[in-house]
Each structure stands twice: as C-alpha cells, then as structure tokens.
A and B are shown apart, each in its own frame.
Chain A
Amino acid sequence: MSTPTTTPGYAGSPPPSPDRPAAPADVLRIDGLHVQVGDLELLTDVDLTVRRGERVGLIGESGSGKSLTALSIMGLLPESLEARGSIAVTGVGGRHTQVVGAAERELAAMRGRDVTMVFQEPMTALNPTMRVGDQVAEVMRIHHTVPDRRAAGARAVELLDKVGLPDPAEAARAYPHQLSGGQRQRVVVAIALANDPALLICDEPTTALDVTVQALVLDLIVRGVEARDAGMLFITHDLAVVASVCERVLVMYGGRVVEAGPVHDVFTTPRHRYTRGLIGASDLDLTRPDGRLYTIQGSVPSAGRFPAGCVFRNRCIHATVECESVPPWEGPGPEDGFACFHPVVVRS
C-alpha cells in the first residue's frame, strides 16, 4: 500500500468524486455497514467516507445511530452487537485495517494511533485517579510513538501547552478534578492528537461545555486536525457547529443515512423531509404563524420501533402509501444525495 502523499493546500477543498473511487487519500471508508442485535437492525446500510484533511459532519437526533457508527469505526461495539459490511481504515503510513472482523490485537494497534476519539463528557473522560500529564503520556507509551518515559512526559507537557493550558508543566501534575470542564476537554483533545492520528472522531465534543468555551475548544480541534492533515468525523446534533466546522455532512435517522451532501447545500436546500424538519427546528429565528418554534412532531422511536420502509414516515406529514417501501438513494453518489419519495421541491 502506498503512502498517500498530500499537499498542504489540499485540506480545505477535497475534489468532488461522484463515484467514490478508492482514492489513496481515504482514511475511512465505510461500505454497507449493518449493525444488529439479534434480529434487530440498529444501523442499516451506512456508507461513509472521510478523506485526509477532510472534515465530515454526522448529524441527527439522539438515538439515530451516530454514536453507534463511531463505536463501530473504533471496533468498540459491545459483544452482543454484530456488525456486517466493510469499515476500512487507512492509518498512519498507509497501514490498512479492516475493522469488521479484525482481531482484538489488530484493533488495539489501530485505536489511539490511526484513529482517536474526543468524547462528549470531559468530567468522566479522564481517569480521576491519574495525573493529567500521565494520561497524555500513556497514549504515546502504548503505541511507542516516543522513545521512553521521560520523552513521553516532556511531550505531554508540550501538548498541554499547545492546547492552551496555562502553565502546562503545573497542569501535567494536576488531577482531573483540579481542572475546569473546558481545561479537561483541552486535555482530552491533547490525548486525541498526541499520536498524530489519521482520523479524529469527535462525539459531541462541545455539548457539555459552556457556550463561551465551546468556540475555543472547537477552534483548537480544527487547528489540531488541520496541522496534521488528518480526517475528522464530527458527530453532533448542533447544526450550527457542523456549519462552522465541516465541509460535508451526513444526516442520520433511524440507523440510516437519509441525506448527504456539502454542508452549504444541505443546510440551505435540504431535500429529505427529516433534514428539513431538523433545520427548521434548529433555527430559533424561524417561528410558525402562531409565534411558536418549529418542531418535528413526535419523538425518535426506540431501536426496533422504527416503521418499515421509510424510517421517518410515522413523523412525516408528507408520508403516503408509497413510503411503506424503502426509498431509494437519489443523487450522484453516496456523498451527495437523499432517500425520500417526497423531497422538498427546490424552486430555482
């Protein structure tokens, strides 16, 4: 496998590829991923590609399968869940890992090295009984990206400095409870970036933070990813964050990708009825004639309670008999398209 050569200017503008050729720049390529527990299908036919230097958003309500997708990529699904399909990770130095069906040893080598994660809750993402610096150093020691303990400690302080902790040497000796939520999340980011991964998965990294801190941490993540020319998969239900951070976006509902496309297009001219509802509900300036905010009627069913056919049809006012069968994917490719029989008509 050849090492992908990337040019510095590549990061901001990935070329559109309608047919998804197996470009060497793909750091993550998911094809037809199904995850099920028993007979219950939790993820259905998920296609997703992230290239080097590309930032892809994954949005949807709670329970739509976003986090499950992230865990699938890490190979961290609970043992009771069964995955089918293909999850190909091309990591640092072109190392290739097929996550589905991989041996635990192979996965352990990939996790924390090729693919790393930033978690939602900075209060619990750090071990309360370990010094912060040791936790940053640990991830480098596991993968031997530093020669020895001393170098790991020095590099940890350096990383803590880079993520903007005041007095990094002092912070490295602190325990998590001595840091604020924002500072802790900076430490989590430092851990995630420590080994210069090829892909960074962020699972709602700013949801638990104060609004004032959110922008700072986001900026930190984006700069860190750009500096390493890494790919990023950004999971959130905060559409504003996706709009400011990502280039492409996938909308998930009921364990399926219902719409995908460039961020600007999806947000300005959504096609799937669910996307439309999600954007309407997120726009707090937009009110109904009676002065109330737009909402999507009903709530996300629990797993296994989604209707057959179009998973959104029981909450969709446009649903017809036709929607009882699964709508086909319409669009130039998996990266741009939607699955809806009654899309929002674009008046040009």
Chain B
Amino acid sequence: MTLPGGLSRLATGLQPASSQRSRRGVSATIAIGGGIVAFIAIVGLLSLVWTPYDPGGIDPTSRLQLSSSAHWLGTDKFGRDVLSLLMAGSRTTLVVGIVAVGVAALIGVPLGIMSAMTTRWWGEAVMRANDLLLAFPALLLAIMLTAVHGQGVVTAMVAIGIASIPSFARVVRSGAIGVMKTEYVLAARAAGRRPLAIAFRHVLPNVTSLIIVQASVSFAIAVLAEAALSYLGLGAPPGTPSWGRMLQEGQELLFVAPRLEVFPGIAIALAVLGLNLLGDGLRDRFDPRLRDRR
C-alpha cells in the first residue's frame, strides 16, 4: 500500500517546476490530482445507475475467472465481477471520506478559530486536549468505537472523522492567529464588530484556503483509514462493496489470484495519489510565499 507521506514528498519534489510553468492558470499538480479525483467521483456516481454486473451478484458458475471480454477485470471467489465491485466500492470510499472530513472540519474549524481568538485559559486547554487526541492512534480509536457501537460504515466514518479533528484545529488555529494580527481585524474591532461577527466575516473567509487544503489531505488519509478498517473487518460489513473489504476477501487467494489484491490496491493508491496531488497543488496555489516564487 502507498503511504501518503511518501507521495506528498514525491509531489513536493515536482512542485517548483510545475508552479513555475503555469503562473496564472491551474498548475499541473492540481490538474492531474483533480483529474484523478474527478474520475473516481464520476465512476462512483456512475455506479449508482450502472455497473457491468450487479456488484453483489454471486455466481458460483463463474468463480475466479481471468480477465475476459465478459469480465474485464475477472471475477472473485464468489463469481462477482471485480470491475463492478471496484466501481461500487468507490462510492463507499467517497462517502466515508466526505463524511469523515465533514465531521472533522465541522468540529475542528470552530475549535481552531475559537482558540486563536481567545487569550483565556480555555483556548490553550482546547489545544492541549487536541494534542492528546493527536497522540492517540486513529486506528485504536476506531477499534474502540467499533467495540462499543458495532461494525459499520457509520462507525468508521465517525471514528475517522474524530481522529482527523486535531489536524484541522491546528492548521486553522495557526492561520487564524495570523489573521487576528492583521489590521483589518483590528479595524473591524475598531469599528465596533463583536467577536462572533469577526470570526464569521473576517477570520473564516481568510482561512478557507487552509481548510480546503487540509480537507483534501484529510480525505486521502480517510481513504486509507477506511481501507485499513474494512481490511481488518471493522469497517464495511460483508455485502457492502468496499476496496478494503476486497483486499481482505482476496487475501486467502493471494498466491492463486493475486489480481484480486492488485486491482483494489491500485484503486486505493490512485485515490490517495490524486487527493495528495490536489492538496499539494492547492497549497502551492494558496501559499503566497510559493506563489510569488517565479
């Protein structure tokens, strides 16, 4: 499996050249990353209305077939069409990613902004609690939640979301601290604006770029986490198409039919690559220090 850290480093190495090349328009990094993400999203949407076969359709007569004109990517041990499973699995990946990132952003962003705007003790307390959560292994949190609430996609989404809160809170806080020091916030205070209005009208719009970048990075992490959870049998239950589940089900046949591992593996790697490229590209675009380097 591909590590997001390694990928982002690889992508970072590509950036200076690409940001130099395209000064105004969309950088190559964003174009490639965005293209991959859009492709997966379209496939996911398409699978709602059409897949070559029913992704849940078990057919004992056509088990473990190789690629053919009927089954482009072959079939698994239950005779299900791998391509159809992959297409339907992208849906789970997308939904888990969106909800997890949504949960993380909805809680992490206000926490970050609030702790940046206050000088009182609880602003600091929030961030220390944040550090505590950051230090807690996400997978362990997910296993705990599963033990309490039972296996399921919802549990996985919430667990991944909670685990992603700290990174949002941190990034937003650091950005918001910078915004709070600007003269336009001072001007807003000098104009009689109350803190809540300053948070919504002045701070939040000016950290949006940070939130977008963090969302794409967290999304990539959520994709990996969902795959890991489903692989461990803690995510998508049997019957729910999921890339992680496909890896798990194909594991016992690793030496008989390695393609059952390769195809979902490629799908996961591609999704993470696309999201990381998109995140890095957006960060370059929004970061004035990198943007001005021409």
Contacts and interface: CB of A to CB of B under 8 A. Distances in A.
Given A79-B119, A108-B194, A126 B189 contact: no
Nearest to B194: A108
Interface residues of A, number: 30
Interface string A57-68: 000000000000
A108 B191 CA distance: 8
B283 interface: no
A313 B197 CA distance: 47
B283 to A, nearest CB: 18
B170 to A, nearest CB: 22
A121 B192 contact: no
Given A127-B202, A127-B206, A130-B201, A110 B183 contact: no
Contacts of B186: 76, 119
A129 B205 contact: yes
B50 interface: no
Given A124-B182, A124-B184, A74 B190 contact: yes
Contact of B192 (A79, A112, A119, A126): A112
Contact of B189 (A76, A109, A113): A76
Interface stretch (A16-24, A137-145, A328-336): A137-145
Contacts of A129: 205-206, 208
Contacts of A120: 183
Contacts of B191: 111-112, 116, 138-139, 142, 191
Interface in A132-154: 138-139, 142-143
Nearest to B204: A129
Contacts of A117: 187, 190
Nearest to B198: A127
Contacts of A139: 191-192
Nearest to B197: A142
B128 interface: no
Contacts of A12: none
B193 interface: yes
Nearest to A110: B192
A343 interface: no
B205 A121 contact: no
A109 B193 CA distance: 9
B187 A142 contact: no
Interface in B15-32: none
B59 to A, nearest CB: 55
Contact of A126 (B184, B193, B205): B184
Interface string B197-214: 100011001101000000
Interface string A80-110: 1000000000000000000000000001111
Contact of A125 (B183, B192, B197): B183
A142 B187 CA distance: 13
B192 A127 contact: no
A32 interface: no
A121 B208 CA distance: 23
Contacts of B206: 127-129
Nearest to A111: B192
Contacts of A108: 192-194
A68 B187 CA distance: 15
A125 B205 CA distance: 15
A79 B195 CA distance: 14
Question: Which of B119, B190, B194, B201 is most buried by chain A, counting CB atoms within 10 A of its CB?
Answer: B190
Contacts of A188: 187
Contacts of B182: 124
Contact of A113 (B187, B192, B205, B208): B192
A116 B202 contact: no
Interface string B139-156: 000000000000000000
B190 A116 contact: yes
B119 A109 contact: no
Contacts of A119: 183, 186-187
B202 A111 contact: no
Contacts of B189: 74, 76, 111
Question: Which of B119, B183, B188, B189 is most buried by chain A, counting CB atoms within 10 A of its CB?
Answer: B183
Nearest to B209: A129
A287 to B, nearest CB: 37
B294 to A, nearest CB: 17
Contact of A112 (B183, B190, B202, B205): B190
A139 B197 CA distance: 12
A108 B182 CA distance: 19
Given A79-B119, A129-B205, A129-B206, A124 B183 contact: yes
B191 to A, nearest CB: 3
Contacts of B192: 107-113, 139, 142-143
A306 B208 CA distance: 44
Contacts of B190: 74, 76, 111-112, 116-117
Interface in A44-84: 74, 76, 78-80
B37 to A, nearest CB: 25
Nearest to B208: A129
Nearest to B190: A117
A142 B184 CA distance: 16
Can you list the 5 inter-chain pairs with the closest CB atoms, starting with the nearest? A112-B191, A129-B205, A112-B192, A111-B192, A125-B183
Given A127-B201, A130-B202, A142-B192, 15 more contacts: A74-B189, A76-B189, A78-B119, A108-B193, A109-B192, A111-B191, A111-B192, A112-B193, A117-B190, A119-B183, A121-B183, A128-B206, A129-B208, A139-B192, A142-B191
Interface of B: 119, 182-184, 186-194, 197, 201-202, 205-206, 208
12 contacts: A74-B190, A76-B189, A107-B192, A108-B193, A111-B192, A112-B192, A127-B184, A127-B202, A130-B205, A138-B193, A139-B191, A142-B192
